[in-house]
């Protein structure tokens, strides 16, 4: 339905466009005939066809409605596809030793599989050998009379791959992507077409566990304890505040008879502590396993498996990779019931879709008939499951955390932050779950109590889907009954403790729904009772879901799409700044927009009323809908008279509505514990919700007092020793989370200390601390993340150690650290070698490479040359790049597709599409500051003028190149974008991109990506990014045309501070740390950990080109980033370079504000720039020209710029 309206609007838009100016369109059409892509193979931007195909896919609902006349055939039966008969980019695991070996290393149960199973498995990489997204197809036939509705079940293994290539027949094929933290995602199509939107991205969960669990060897229960020990399992919790064993523990002691003896095993879970007693995050690791997965909707809007209509004849199913490799063993096409079509009062067909699960009543009946006498309230005591110890989690970011807002959270300490809850933000996205295993003492019915706090969705409730596995519930986690999809957790500022249950519409004696005065049904809660048998081990899954809110939120989302289209329609008529006094005659030109504004106002009011009835209160969250409905009514009334004055309001409310949907879909709560108690228990048998007055007061006071005694410097340190002398002193100015990740990566098994045998003291400092610390001589050895201009600033003042092995101020011995390869032998001695040893030689001598020479460590496969350039001055390099940010182009595929515009590859094409965009009151966003810089490089010149024929580092940076013809042309071009072509100089990227007003925007890729992911999740899937548009210029010498789309690198680096070279061992250790820290593995693991901890909006812009492959980008995104990384340049930092940006900005503003000619404006600042450069070079002449150098040059003193002449 959403899509049909969309289509209608598209059609209308196109007609409007035609009406506006057929001329413009025809001229554009002739231009848009393209001879071929300039970027060729490396181009990653979507084609027009791809973008337009987005507009034609329908929603699941529309898909089902379109098949309402289809009937299920009689001879339908389950079809098992022969998985090994595939076409496309996949490989049978048994065909490639490399793949098999790599999968065998996957943590999990691969090795336990039978050979037959292994022979049936097919490996689906994420990227095919030509670098595009891998896609695999299977053929099958639907026999005559077997057409109808089917669901699809895929059995997959979430393998963890860390090989980079596999052997396919005789070719070595790169896998390109190792596994990262992301879930597996695939695009599903049938007969080459994506049947509906929901399967354009289906996700396959990976399974994660925390590595805090150890299981003891079985032992016999000692004789003296035997009389008190019974068969079963006991769960205990313990917090040890001090001593060697300090930590927070969970023990599960399982007692069972074996060969006449009473045996026990103890499973211990441990959350470790830092020096201050704060809990430290356990690290999550993926544990691969076979999973049967029904293809479902990952947006959370429909429960249960999705249904596909398959017609008779040959069919084929295609899985195209979006993210992550996977292994598939079986694909089954399973017959399903036809959707439940119904007709409403107006004669429209709608679907009342139920999941295929049985009802709660059926479940109870089943248990009662199956278990007769046992089907009663269990006899015994309850078990408390502390929620901070999940056994499995759906993705690595579902994490335990601390909450000290209540004095009776368990455990709680006023001294430290102990992990005592799970949530709240890390456990809130649709489909995320945490799972707990447990056993019960007695067979019978149990109720589940939960102690939780849900204070984010004001006045509303959130839902969890409860799934079970084990015992009678089977091996795969399934809902025990339909109602389990909607277990509600209400809103309160306080902690709550209640039994889990669902809500149902009350029925009166005649079986009619009881309604309140507004006609909404009255609901009551039903606490659910679950049947468990003693001796079985169960796993309880609590999965974030929309539950009862599903339809409401879906309605609002559809409504938002319609209102957004209305907004764009109105925008096309009035422009962004409508004139209040003008008569736009909306009634005449677009009556349907007015109607749909009023309709949507009504829809939103209805949803608000329904939500109010559901939730029982009208919180501020729900009231938002009413507010928006009010403004829509105002705008739609009176023939649209009030539209003009309310336009800007509408725009901001569109944003509000988008946020409203995001918030409603964020099902966040903190869960302290789940209690499993016999079903006849009452309210007192589960933990209290809140502490009493005295407990609270005492807790607050003691927390306040203890806060004076906490040493915040030692946050995250596990041992005092880590702060001791001798260790490499590393400082970083990042957040606490980031610093904790570095700490744990250094200490982890296989981490820095483990591999190199050297300690690291890590200190979290605030940004401006480095300078004063160097001044006072108390600086660190290594600093992480220093901006490249600062690096050069410090370097010319001798505050940073050159690492390229040719630094003039280092001794030969010190430079040798960077010029040689270092190997470590079995005894821990470090041996130096001028050349790199071969692998054979290393093994034969028992050596291990622990440090490379600078050339090797900084080679251009690892770091972009541009990035190294920014850290280099006078041939000496002062660090290794850690992060690299650069501009890329983001575009809205839906908008461009509607308008029939290709993604531009050159600036001319970009300007060519501008009239079309502007006639629709849309525009393009480019920040002039970055455009001024990269344009010069794209036109083939540099910011700096290099004197003489050959590059001579001594003269580099002595004069600016802004006065060359090409640079002036570039400057003039950028100015013309804003003056002639009226691009906005100042704008809010995220907001305008979201509304579609700015369908193309150019800016720093990581910050735009991160803000769009959280801020504009409702447009997810309709935007992409690719490398910059480029310029074409003629090469002076060869006369050939050159196409250049370079972006400029903004680098922050890891550097060694002056002082660490005094001790050669420290220098080597610091250099090793620097190489380790910027290496592929560590950068990838850091980038993945930070996403795991903070979420998908915390993407990390590593400078390591190889590490990009291991981060959680989709195949397409990786290709785009790699493409741009291969086309990079940088403005080299020379003394005085800070002045350039300043004067370029002044020149630009002179042109923009005062209308000066571009050349004149730029030329008026050239002298000022050059004289500042000269002045700075004079200040550092001793550094730039050592005595021998200037004597060689035949000079009596360090040269000044004048002596070289202009």
Partner 1 sequence: MSEEIVKKTDKNRPLQRDEMSKLQWTWKEMKRNKTAYFMLFPFLILFIVFTVLPVLLSMFLSLTDFNMLEMPNWKGVDNYTRLFLDDDIFMLAVQNTLIFACVTGPVSYILSLLVAWFVNELPPKIRAVVTLVFYAPSISGQVYLIWKTLFSSDSYGWANATLMDLGIITSPILWFEDAAYVMPLCIIVALWTSLGTAFLSFIAGFQTVDRSMYEAAAVDGIKNRWQELWYITLPTMRPQMMFGAVLAITNSFGFGAVVDALCGFPSVDYAAHTIMHHLSDYGGSRYEVGYASAIAVVLFIMMFASNILVKKALSKVGE
Give 839-882 as a 3 state SS string.
Answer: HHHHHHHCCEEEECCHHHHCCCCCECHHHHHCCEECCEECCEEE
Residues 6+ apart with CB under 8 A from 859: none
- Report yes or no: 152 and 308 within 8 Å, Cβ to Cβ: yes
**Could you say whether residue 748 binds partner 1 (CB under 8 A)?**
no
Please give the size of the binding site for partner 1, defined by CB under 8 A: 30
Nearest CB to partner 1, comparing residues 721 and 775: 775
Residue from 48, 294, 1149, 1166 in contact with partner 1 (CB under 8 A) = 1149
- Which range touches partner 1 (CB under 8 A), out of 49-57, 92-100, 576-584, 906-914? 576-584
Extended strands (E) in 476-633 = 487-489, 496-499, 501-505, 523-527, 529-532, 538-545
- Which range touches partner 1 (CB under 8 A), out of 35-43, 488-496, 664-672, 981-989? 981-989
- The 10 Å CB-count burial string (b at 16+, else e) for 113-152 is eeeeebebbbbbbbbbbebbbbbbbbebebeeebbbbbbb
Nearest CB to partner 1, comparing residues 266 and 576: 576
DSSP for 137-170? EEEEEEPTT--EEEEEEEEEE------SEEEETT
Nearest CB to partner 1, comparing residues 635 and 741: 635
Segment 982 to 1041, residues that bind partner 1, using CB under 8 A: 982, 984-988
Task: State the DSSP H helix or E strand holding residue 16, giving kind and residue range, or none if neither.
Answer: helix 2-20
Residues 6+ apart with CB under 8 A from 592: none
Residue 329 has which token pair?
């063993």
**Could you say whether residue 1186 binds partner 1 (CB under 8 A)?**
no
- Which range touches partner 1 (CB under 8 A), out of 539-547, 619-627, 789-797, 1016-1024? 789-797
**Could you say whether residue 776 binds partner 1 (CB under 8 A)?**
no
Q: How far apart are CA 1055 and CA 879, in angstroms?
A: 5
Residue from 576, 598, 968, 1097 in contact with partner 1 (CB under 8 A) = 576
Residue from 71, 144, 721, 775 in contact with partner 1 (CB under 8 A) = 775
Residue from 8, 261, 342, 797 in contact with partner 1 (CB under 8 A) = 797
Q: How far apart are CA 1142 and CA 1074, in angstroms?
A: 33
Q: Going residue by residue from 933 to 972, which x/- string records binding to partner 1, judged by CB under 8 A?
A: ----------------------------------------
- Which range touches partner 1 (CB under 8 A), out of 280-288, 391-399, 574-582, 814-822? 574-582
3-state secondary structure of 383: strand
Residue from 16, 48, 771, 1166 in contact with partner 1 (CB under 8 A) = 771
Q: Going residue by residue from 107 to 146, which x/- string records binding to partner 1, judged by CB under 8 A?
A: ----------------------------------------
Residue from 115, 130, 217, 577 in contact with partner 1 (CB under 8 A) = 577
Cβ neighbours of 638 (radius 10 Å):
12
- Report yes or no: 192 and 140 within 8 Å, Cβ to Cβ: no
Whole-Å CA distances, 315 to 135, 146, 288, 348? 16, 12, 31, 31
CB of 564 vs partner 1, minimal distance in Å? 17
**Could you say whether residue 778 binds partner 1 (CB under 8 A)?**
no
Please give the torsion angle defined by the CA atoms of residues 129, 130, 134 and 139, in that order, rounded to the nearest 10 degrees: -90
- The 10 Å CB-count burial string (b at 16+, else e) for 497-521 is bbbbbbbeeeeeeeeeeeeeeeebb
Which is it for the CA torsion 492, 497, 498, 500, positive or negative? positive
Nearest CB to partner 1, comparing residues 292 and 797: 797
By DSSP bridging, strand 1023-1026 and strand 887-892 are antiparallel
CB of 870 vs partner 1, minimal distance in Å? 17
**Could you say whether residue 334 binds partner 1 (CB under 8 A)?**
no
CB of 1004 vs partner 1, minimal distance in Å? 18
Return the DSSP state at 5: H
Cβ neighbours of 1142 (radius 10 Å):
13
Residue from 135, 634, 793, 913 in contact with partner 1 (CB under 8 A) = 793
Bridge partners (DSSP) listed for residue 261: 258
**Could you say whether residue 1157 binds partner 1 (CB under 8 A)?**
no
- Which range touches partner 1 (CB under 8 A), out of 174-182, 456-464, 980-988, 1035-1043? 980-988
Which is it for the CA torsion 886, 892, 897, 900, positive or negative? negative
Task: State the DSSP H helix or E strand holding residue 260, giving kind and residue range, or none if neither.
Answer: none
**Could you say whether residue 1150 binds partner 1 (CB under 8 A)?**
yes
Q: What share of the chain is helix, strand, coil (3-state, %, to 5)?
A: 40, 25, 40
Nearest CB to partner 1, comparing residues 340 and 648: 648
CB of 1179 vs partner 1, minimal distance in Å? 8
CB of 1200 vs partner 1, minimal distance in Å? 15
Phi, psi (degrees; rounded to nearest 5) at 212: -110, 10
Q: How far is CA 655 from the centre of its chain?
A: 21
Residue from 402, 1146, 1186, 1189 in contact with partner 1 (CB under 8 A) = 1146
CB of 819 vs partner 1, minimal distance in Å? 26
- Which range touches partner 1 (CB under 8 A), out of 114-122, 563-571, 596-604, 1152-1160? 1152-1160
Phi, psi (degrees; rounded to nearest 5) at 939: -90, 10
**Could you say whether residue 526 binds partner 1 (CB under 8 A)?**
no
Nearest CB to partner 1, comparing residues 369 and 1153: 1153
Nearest CB to partner 1, comparing residues 603 and 1137: 1137
Nearest CB to partner 1, comparing residues 266 and 771: 771
Segment 604 to 663, residues that bind partner 1, using CB under 8 A: 648
Nearest CB to partner 1, comparing residues 201 and 572: 572
- Report yes or no: 314 and 141 within 8 Å, Cβ to Cβ: yes
Nearest CB to partner 1, comparing residues 196 and 783: 783
- Which range touches partner 1 (CB under 8 A), out of 328-336, 612-620, 713-721, 791-799? 791-799
Region of 91 on the Ramachandran plot (φ > 0 left; ψ -120 to 50 alpha; else beta) = beta
Nearest CB to partner 1, comparing residues 990 and 1115: 990
Q: How far apart are CA 163 and CA 215, in angstroms?
A: 31
Nearest CB to partner 1, comparing residues 964 and 1159: 1159
Nearest CB to partner 1, comparing residues 273 and 1137: 1137
CB of 648 vs partner 1, minimal distance in Å? 7
- Which range touches partner 1 (CB under 8 A), out of 47-55, 93-101, 325-333, 793-801? 793-801
Segment 1099 to 1138, residues that bind partner 1, using CB under 8 A: 1138
**Could you say whether residue 171 binds partner 1 (CB under 8 A)?**
no
- Which range touches partner 1 (CB under 8 A), out of 4-12, 655-663, 768-776, 868-876? 768-776
Q: How far apart are CA 905 and CA 30, in angstroms?
A: 17
Residue from 1153, 1155, 1202, 1205 in contact with partner 1 (CB under 8 A) = 1153
Give the angle subtended at the CA of 990 by the CAs of 993 and 424, to the nearest 5°. 130
- Report yes or no: 769 and 784 within 8 Å, Cβ to Cβ: no
Nearest CB to partner 1, comparing residues 988 and 1065: 988
- Report yes or no: 572 and 920 within 8 Å, Cβ to Cβ: yes
Task: Tell me which residues touch partner 1 (CB under 8 A).
Answer: 576-577, 579-580, 648, 771, 774-775, 793-794, 797-799, 982, 984-988, 1138, 1142, 1145-1146, 1149-1150, 1152-1154, 1176, 1179
């Amino acid at each position: 339905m959403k899509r049909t309206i969309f289509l209608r609007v598209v059609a209308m838009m196109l007609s409007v466009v035609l009406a506006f100016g057929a001329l413009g369109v025809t001229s554009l059409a002739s231009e848009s005939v393209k001879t071929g892509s300039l970027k060729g193979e490396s181009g990653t931007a979507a084609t027009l066809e791809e973008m337009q195909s987005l507009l034609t896919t329908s929603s699941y609902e529309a898909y089902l409605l379109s098949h309402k006349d289809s009937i299920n055939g009689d001879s339908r039966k389950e079809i098992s596809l022969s998985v090994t008969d595939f076409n496309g980019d996949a490989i049978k695991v048994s065909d490639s030793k490399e793949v098999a070996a790599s999968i065998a290393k996957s943590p999990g149960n691969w090795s336990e599989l039978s050979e037959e199973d292994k022979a049936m498995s097919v490996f689906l990489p994420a990227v095919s050998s030509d670098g595009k997204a891998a896609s695999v197809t299977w053929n099958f036939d639907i026999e005559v009379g077997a057409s109808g509705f089917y669901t699809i079940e895929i059995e997959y293994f979430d393998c963890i791959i860390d090989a980079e290539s596999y052997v396919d027949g005789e070719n070595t094929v790169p896998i390109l992507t190792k596994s990262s933290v992301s879930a597996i995602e695939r695009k599903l199509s049938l007969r080459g077409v994506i049947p509906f939107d929901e399967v354009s991205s289906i996700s396959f969960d990976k399974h994660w566990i925390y590595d805090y669990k150890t299981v003891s060897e079985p032992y016999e229960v000692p004789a003296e304890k035997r009389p008190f020990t019974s068969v079963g399992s006991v769960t205990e919790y313990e917090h040890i505040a001090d001593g060697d064993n300090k930590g927070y523990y969970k023990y599960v002691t399982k007692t069972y008879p074996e060969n006449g003896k009473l045996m026990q095993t103890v499973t211990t879970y441990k959350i470790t502590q830092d020096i201050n007693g704060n809990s430290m995050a356990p690290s999550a690791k993926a544990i691969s396993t076979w999973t049967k997965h029904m293809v479902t909707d990952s947006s959370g809007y429909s429960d249960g498996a999705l249904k596909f209509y398959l017609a008779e004849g040959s069919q084929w199913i295609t899985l195209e990779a979006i993210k992550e490799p996977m292994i598939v063993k079986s694909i089954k096409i399973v017959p399903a019931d036809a959707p439940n079509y119904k007709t409403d009062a107006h004669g429209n067909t709608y679907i009342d879709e139920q999941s295929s699960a049985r009802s709660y009543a059926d479940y109870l009946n089943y248990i009662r008939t199956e278990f007769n006498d046992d089907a009663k309230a269990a006899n015994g005591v309850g078990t408390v499951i502390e929620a901070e110890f999940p056994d499995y989690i759906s993705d690595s970011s579902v994490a335990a955390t601390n909450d000290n807002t209540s004095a009776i959270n368990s455990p709680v300490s006023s001294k430290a932050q102990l992990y005592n809850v799970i949530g709240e933000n890390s456990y809130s996205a649709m489909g995320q779950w945490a799972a707990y295993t447990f056993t019960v003492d007695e067979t019978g019915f149990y109720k589940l109590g939960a102690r939780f706090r849900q204070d984010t969705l004001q006045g509303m409730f959130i839902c969890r889907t409860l799934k079970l596995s084990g015992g009678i519930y089977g091996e795969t986690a399934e809902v025990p009954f339909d109602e389990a999809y909607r277990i509600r957790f209400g809103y309160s500022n306080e902690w709550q403790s209640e039994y889990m249950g669902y809500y149902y519409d009350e029925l009166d004696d005649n079986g009619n729904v009881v309604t309140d005065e507004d006609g909404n049904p009255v609901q009551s809660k039903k606490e659910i009772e679950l049947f468990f048998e003693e001796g079985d081990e169960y796993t309880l899954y609590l999965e974030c879901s929309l539950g009862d809110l599903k339809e409401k939120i879906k309605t609002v989302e559809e409504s938002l799409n319609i209102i957004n289209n209305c907004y764009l329609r109105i925008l096309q008529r009035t422009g962004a700044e409508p004139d209040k006094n003008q008569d736009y005659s909306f009634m005449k030109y677009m009556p349907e927009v007015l109607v749909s504004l009023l309709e949507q106002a009504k829809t939103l009011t209805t949803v608000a009323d329904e939500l109010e009835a559901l939730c029982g209160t009208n919180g501020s969250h729900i009231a938002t809908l009413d507010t928006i409905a009010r403004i829509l009514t105002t705008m739609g009334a009176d023939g649209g008279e009030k539209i003009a004055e309310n336009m800007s309001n509408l725009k901001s409310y569109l944003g509000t509505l988008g946020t409203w949907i995001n918030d409603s879909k964020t099902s966040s709560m903190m869960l302290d514990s789940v209690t499993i108690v016999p079903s006849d228990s009452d309210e007192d048998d589960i933990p209290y919700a809140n502490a009493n007055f005295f407990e609270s007061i005492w807790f607050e006071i003691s927390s306040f007092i203890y806060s004076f005694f906490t040493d915040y410097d030692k946050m995250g340190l596990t041992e005092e020793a880590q702060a001791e002398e001798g260790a490499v002193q590393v400082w970083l100015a990042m957040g606490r989370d980031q610093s904790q990740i570095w700490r744990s990566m250094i200490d982890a098994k296989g981490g820095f200390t483990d591999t190199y045998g050297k300690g690291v003291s890590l200190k979290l400092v605030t940004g401006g601390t480095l300078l004063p610390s160097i001044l006072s001589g108390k600086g660190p050895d290594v600093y992480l993340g220093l901006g490249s201009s600062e690096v050069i600033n410090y370097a010319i003042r001798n505050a940073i150690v050159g690492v390229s092995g040719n630094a003039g101020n280092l001794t030969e011995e010190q430079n040798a650290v960077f010029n040689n390869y270092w190997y470590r032998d079995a005894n821990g001695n470090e041996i130096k070698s001028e050349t790199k040893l071969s692998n054979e030689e290393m093994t034969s001598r028992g050596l291990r490479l622990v440090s490379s020479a600078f050339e090797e460590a900084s080679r251009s496969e690892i770091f972009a040359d541009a990035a190294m350039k920014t850290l280099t001055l006078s041939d000496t390099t002062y660090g290794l790049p850690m992060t690299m940010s650069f501009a890329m182009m983001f575009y809205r595929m839906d908008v461009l597709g509607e308008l029939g515009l290709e993604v531009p590859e050159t600036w001319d094409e970009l300007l060519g599409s501008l009239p079309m965009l502007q006639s629709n009151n849309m525009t393009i966003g480019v920040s002039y500051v970055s455009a001024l810089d990269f344009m010069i490089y794209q036109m083939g010149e540099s910011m700096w003028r290099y004197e003489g024929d050959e590059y001579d580092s001594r003269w580099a940076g002595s004069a600016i190149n802004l006065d060359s013809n090409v640079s002036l042309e570039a400057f003039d071009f950028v100015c013309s974008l804003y003056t002639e072509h009226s691009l906005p100089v100042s704008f809010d990227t995220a907001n305008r991109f979201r509304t579609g007003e700015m369908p193309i925007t150019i800016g720093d890729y990581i910050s735009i990506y991160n803000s769009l992911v959280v801020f504009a999740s409702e447009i997810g899937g309709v935007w992409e990014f690719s490398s910059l548009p480029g310029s074409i210029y003629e090469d002076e010498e060869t006369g050939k045309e050159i196409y250049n789309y370079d972006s400029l690198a903004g680098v922050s680096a890891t550097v060694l501070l002056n002082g660490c070279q005094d001790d050669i061992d420290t220098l080597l250790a610091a250099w090793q740390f620097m190489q380790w820290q910027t290496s592929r593995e560590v950068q990838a693991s850091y980038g993945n950990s930070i996403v795991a901890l903070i979420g998908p909006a915390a993407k990390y812009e590593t400078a390591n080109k190889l590490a990009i492959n291991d981060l959680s980008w989709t195949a397409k995104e990786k290709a785009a980033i790699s493409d741009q990384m291969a086309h990079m340049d940088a403005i080299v930092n020379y003394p005085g370079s800070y002045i350039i940006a300043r004067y370029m900005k002044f020149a630009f503003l002179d042109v923009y504000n005062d209308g000066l000619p571009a050349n004149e404006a730029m030329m008026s600042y050239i002298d000022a720039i050059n004289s500042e450069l000269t002045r700075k070079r004079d200040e550092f002449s001793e550094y730039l020209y050592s005595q021998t150098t200037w004597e060689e040059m035949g000079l009596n003193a360090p040269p000044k710029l004048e002596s070289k002449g202009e």
